[in-house]
Amino acid sequence: ADSLLYGLFHSSMAGRGNYTGYHNPQVDKILDEARAATKSNKERLALLGKAESIIIDDAPMVWLFQKKSAAIAGEQTRELKIDRLGMVDWHMVQLKKSETTAEKVSNNQ
């Protein structure tokens, strides 16, 4: 599983999750190493902690509040995607038209 840090702070994610355009080659290298560290969770967490410390010192963004969000989707919902920050791209969400009771009755005859 990818870390939240990769999507928010890796330079390759600029414009897709790295909304600040943050670019630090050292952080990129550490995040790449953490992504490749599939055998040892302990090693991966240590690398992510190291990247996190650098990011905190660089302070590319400051959170002013923690937004709480929720989304409920039924079987008619299509293309509902929630990003790492809990934001929904509502322009992409589609609702599949359900059969009405009259259509169901006529289809069963």
Domain extent listing, the chain: 4-58, 77-108
pLDDT, tens digit (0-9, with 9 covering 90-100), for 17-46? 898 999 999 999 999 999 998 788 899 999
Question: What is the CA 85 to chain-centroid distance, rounded?
Answer: 6
Task: Print pLDDT tens along the chain (109 aa).
Answer: 467 899 999 999 998 889 899 999 999 999 999 999 878 889 999 999 999 999 999 999 887 877 777 777 888 888 888 876 777 888 888 888 876 655 666 676 6
3-class SS at 82?
A: strand
> What are 44's two structure tokens?
């991966």
CB-CB contact of 31 with 10 (8 Å): yes
Alpha carbon distance 71, 27 (integer Å): 32
> What are 59's two structure tokens?
């302070």
